A and B are shown apart, each in its own frame.
Chain A
């Protein structure tokens, strides 16, 4: 059983920033089908700001909560719009679960991940089936919780998590948007993957990679 300190979380966020930067054009193209074609720009701007802010941190003994909070703040101030509050809330809630801890045991990380999914749902007032990033985050969180409760270590749990996120994002293709700007398209939003769910998969995959858990 591994422990995750502040420095390993910084590494995780940098892996997310790298992944999102690589997918920026792809995410903009997806968003162009049902939105205003700027989701990749907003996400890259947000995680780029997170990466820059965390580079300034003194890594010596930095607490997990401080890393999550700095990630939240820098993402938010760089973006605004809708993705800013959603991811900022996710990271702030994760930070709250880690309060007072010097490092996260595997169960602590699972709790932080649950708080992220819950934070996104609470902030966006969205539920599964509305063609949003919740369609990736909610099944991912449930898969992780179930695997962990079944005795799997975090590496095995993450494999189930990523698979569930991908499946959830795929499912948005057949959905009609009920939340966010694409909701105005009604039926016309069907047939395209939700860009927020697509980027959520890249984020979750990069978390696994950044924590050195991918097999």
Chain B
């Protein structure tokens, strides 16, 4: 097979950091190549160089045999390279068609050729099996649909090589599977695909070939059929990583009890008829396809939403009406779904973030003044205890990597010895090493008798950590199943809303 794309000896420095070190890579016609590596391994930098967002310090990019001028995205587009970024670059207030046309028409034109563009878009959508409604506003689309628009945008510009940066980071598993089926179909139409990932299972199922980056270097290249997930994990991390395993132990008394809760938001019912119990020393996993009420459940258990009906009790005390600080005082701890948007204030220091939730407690303030020494000492203790790398109490928290930021947020929660912990997507976007740490901490809290509610879209994670599992579908919960009963088929049915004839566990 002939190579449609060649990267040769790419090197890129950012100050003292070497993001890519002498990386070479080629892509064959009709191939799906997975670029695997942990966060910070240099995957995104490499693809940005290929697409012309960055200019490499050394090395060359050749597309269909022609060398691309460095640092010029337009040249890459014209050569037939399309990129779908992890964070979409769509205008929410425009329609699908307008988004696709955006940037592909000269500004000097007086009237845009909508009819022709629409026909062309529909033809492409049809050919590649990517159904869309051209007149729909992007803001009204789901994440999966938006991604489809991004892909169509690239195809509309005649992309023959498609690069997807962490395409499944925002997708639930069924959506991800559909995406990979679509990509497979597209390669049969002559496209070549590179996708960036740090998830082993999707690399194993969806790619023809895997290139593994570690610390900016290309450490291995494997035919997917001739390797294994274990192999790749070791190559990616550079050592053997085992996710910690849940040990059986005695489950205690009920801690957090929800009884027929209903939560409404702007008049719409988000959660209905919701009942669950989390016991001391137990992890209750809530699985489901994203958008089925996880956000409302997270808000409820964070003290940001309150039940319109029903009761929520923590150790027998009604806590449904409490705000975040009241909940924390009552013994709750919360790991938010999105650590950048909710968990931390990037421009503030580590110590400020470490105590923000408990700023008004006597431990960290007196007479309205912040007890800075105590707060700094607390932050320093968290950094040591939870092995937060690259952080001092006065470091701005946005300078930490995702994993280290999550360790600090987790530490902030665990430091109080909470009775109940909400862990909402606690490992989203983290690499294998960080995932193992987070899992180990959650299991340690469980062993010490904390009641933990884990909301996760990663089935492996939910099954691996949880004592019992319930599925959330359209704002309602299935009856719980024990981890032993939770085989993939049964979970799949539960997530599809089929559980009525199940025996209660």
Question: Is B a genuine binding partner of A?
Answer: no
Residues of B within 8 A of A (CB): none
